[in-house]
A and B are shown apart, each in its own frame.
Chain A
Amino acid sequence: MSENVLSGLAEIVEEVAGVAADDVTADKSFVDDLDIDSLSMVEIAVQAEDKFGVKIPDDELANLKTVGDAVNYITSNK
């Protein structure tokens, strides 16, 4: 797993949702553990697209349940 992508994603999650970056770890569920709603997920996805130069279509976004899912998707689609 890319530590750079993880730390970059953690910064975005902190900016958008106020979750401390240290708490944004691969095993965490966005909804169940980090209390991030669907509106904030859209913001996080848009910022991640800009930061990492990837496309995250809505049907893919729906499958990104955990932080690890997102890191893996971003890493393999950069």
Chain B
Amino acid sequence: MTSGIEVVITGLGATTPLGGDVTSTWDALLAGKSGVRPMTHDWVEKYDLPVKIASQLVVDPTEVLPRVEARRLDRSEQVAIVASRQAWSDAGHDDDTVDRQRLAVIIGTGIGGAITLLTQDDLLEQHGLRKVSPLTVPMLMPNGPAAHVGLELKAQAGVHAPVSACASGAEAIAWAYRMIMSGEADVVVAGGAEACITAIPVAGFSQARTMSTRNDEPEKASRPFDTGRDGFVLGEGAGVMVLERRDFAEARGAKIYGRLAGIGTSADGYHITAPDPEGVGQSRAIAAALRSGGIDPSDVGHVNCHATSTPVGDVAETVAIRKAIGDHPILTAPKGALGHLLGAAGAVEAIVTVLSIRDGIVPQTLNLENLDPAVTLDVVAGEPRKIKLDAAVNDSFGFGGHNVALAFTPA
């Protein structure tokens, strides 16, 4: 880039249905584990919901956080705090490594504090005003995860919370890139957080006919690109990365995982939930990411797909990839194992993409047994594939027609 500024990744943190941190998540992904399990919540039976499975955290955040801290936070905020602490510590930052007026926090969410909203509404209905927590608003507001992390780190260059449904986490990382490139911040803690496995989101997604009802085989329910796919599996978790201006990171001797070379965003202008089947908007986002990163499409060896295991969306994405990049990149869809973490998905999958480049290995798409004949690209299935990557793209798309592409290159 002409500015001479480069954005690098120095710290990673996550808590997911595959593991309580980045390493355990990555290992489980490569080992072909699934995070999808039956939901044991009483409301599943109470409302006779057609969906009885979800991709649920293996380490509950209340096991990690002090009791009093946890009770003041919505679950979406708890996971954001957990992942951010890991990322901050992994980056080797402490109180003195960055001027707080040069530090920003950007953490997106798709739904926000739905569990708090519903719990407090029940209390109001059943017991009246007195039982409503004075912490209700800071717990349910969608900027809550970003605000709490920002407060903990005393970040003062800006604290932001992009809300673009299932693209929120990726949008946060794209925003971080812009802040560093424009000189607004030296270090940005960015990612996504989601925890809304509760009755109304499950009921609403069910009514939209977007979720898998393969209740008898939870671990096989999320199967992107497979002919037997029947919808996504709702998941929860958080992914956070520390991004820095390269010269700043190098000056403090930080380890560097990889580089966020370019970002691209676009909107479909097509339909509130359905993707454009021609993938026009998605391909524009991917092309923009490559252009901003100065990456030739022929150098992109891999795309970490958004593919959620819905019949229409998965195919549309491959159309977009062919348009923007070509037929050569190998694809994977981590949602086969992770389920769909909504506003956290883009951030967790960006982490996976960075690790694929670092380790030269692309995880398999779990449960891909019979590739949809409409997909003409090479999708990694069965077992991970070793490959040296010069560049890789991570896609994220959200209800509303939001498209985000992140282009990563080696350190």
Stretch of A4-12, A23-31, A41-49 with 4 or more beta carbons under 8 angstroms from chain B: A41-49
Contact with A along B128-148 (1 / 0, CB 8 A): 001101110010000000000
Question: Which residues on the B side are within 8 Å of A43 (C-beta)?
Answer: 133-135
Pair A18/B67 contact, Cβ less than 8 Å: yes
The answer to whether the Cβ of B208 comes within 8 Å of any Cβ in the partner chain is no
**Residue numbers in A under 8 Å from B69 (CB-CB):** 18
In angstroms, Cα B134 to Cα A38, docked, is: 9
Query: Chain B contacts of A46 at CB under 8 A?
Result: 130-131
Contact status B68-A17, CB under 8 Å: yes
CB contacts (< 8 Å) of B131 on chain A: these are: 46
Q: A37 to B131: give the CA distance in the assembly, Å.
A: 18
Interchain CA distance A39-B69 in the complex, whole Å: 14
Check A39 against B66 for contact (C-beta < 8 Å): no
Q: Which of the residues B66, B67, B130, B133 comes within 8 Å of A49, measured between beta carbons?
A: B130
Chain B residue at smallest Cβ distance from A41: B134
Q: Which residue of A lies closest to B129 (CB)?
A: A46
Contacts of A40 in B (CB 8 A): 134
Nearest-neighbour CB distance to chain A for B275, whole angstroms, equals 42
How far, in Å, is A57 (CB) from chain B's closest CB? 12
How many chain A residues touch B (CB < 8 A): the figure is 10
Question: Inside 8 A of A18's CB, which chain B residues have their CB?
Answer: 66-69
- Across the interface, which residues of B come within 8 angstroms of A42, CB to CB? 134
| A interface: dominant SS | helix
Minimum Cβ distance to chain A for residue B139 (Å): 10
Residue of B nearest to A38 (CB): B134
Chain A residues, Cβ within 8 Å of B135 = 39, 43
- When distances are taken between beta carbons in the complex, the residues of chain B under 8 Å from A16 are 68
Q: Which residues does chain A contribute within 8 Å of B130, judged by CB atoms?
A: 46, 49
Number of A-B contacts defined by CB within 8 Å: 18
**Residue from the set B67, B130, B134 with the largest chain A CB neighbour count within 10 Å:** B134
Q: CA of A43 to CA of B69 in the docked complex: distance in angstroms?
A: 15
The one of A17, A39, A49 that contacts B134, using a Cβ cutoff of 8 Å: A39
Minimum Cβ distance to chain B for residue A42 (Å): 4
Q: How far is the CB of B85 from chain A (nearest CB, A)?
A: 18
Residue of A nearest to B130 (CB): A46
Chain A residue at smallest Cβ distance from B131 = A46
Q: How far is the CB of A78 from chain B (nearest CB, A)?
A: 18
Which residues 286-333 of B sit at the A interface, judged by CB distance below 8 A? none
Q: Could you tell me the distance in whole angstroms from the C-beta of A14 to the nearest C-beta in chain B?
A: 9
Chain A residue nearest to B137 (CB atoms) is A39
The minimal Cβ–Cβ distance linking A68 to chain B, given in whole angstroms, is 23
Residues of A within 8 A of B67 (CB): 18
User: Which residues on B sit within 8 Å (CB–CB) of A39?
Assistant: 134-135, 138
Q: Which single residue of chain B is at the shortest CB-CB distance from A42?
A: B134
Bound Cα distance A43, B130 (Å): 9
Complex: how many Å from CA A16 to CA B134?
12
Within 8 A of B (CB), among A32-78: 38-40, 42-43, 46, 49
- Complexed CA–CA distance, A2 and B61 (Å): 39
Q: Which residue of B lies closest to A46 (CB)?
A: B130
> What separation, in Å, do the CA atoms of A42 and B132 have in the docked complex?
10
Bound complex: CA of A49 vs CA of B130, how far in Å?
Answer: 10
A15 to B: closest C-beta gap in Å:
8
CB distance from B138 to the nearest CB of A (A): 8
| Segment 111-135 of B: residues with Cβ below 8 Å from A | 130-131, 133-135
Report A's interface with B, CB cutoff 8 A: 16-18, 38-40, 42-43, 46, 49
9 pairs of A and B residues whose beta carbons are closest in the complex: A18-B68, A42-B134, A39-B134, A46-B130, A39-B135, A43-B134, A17-B68, A43-B133, A18-B67
Question: What are 10 A-B pairs at a CB distance below 8 A?
Answer: A18-B67, A18-B68, A38-B134, A39-B138, A40-B134, A42-B134, A43-B134, A43-B135, A46-B131, A49-B130
16 further A-B contacts with Cβ under 8 Å, apart from A39-B134, A43-B133, are A16-B68, A17-B68, A18-B66, A18-B67, A18-B68, A18-B69, A38-B134, A39-B135, A39-B138, A40-B134, A42-B134, A43-B134, A43-B135, A46-B130, A46-B131, A49-B130
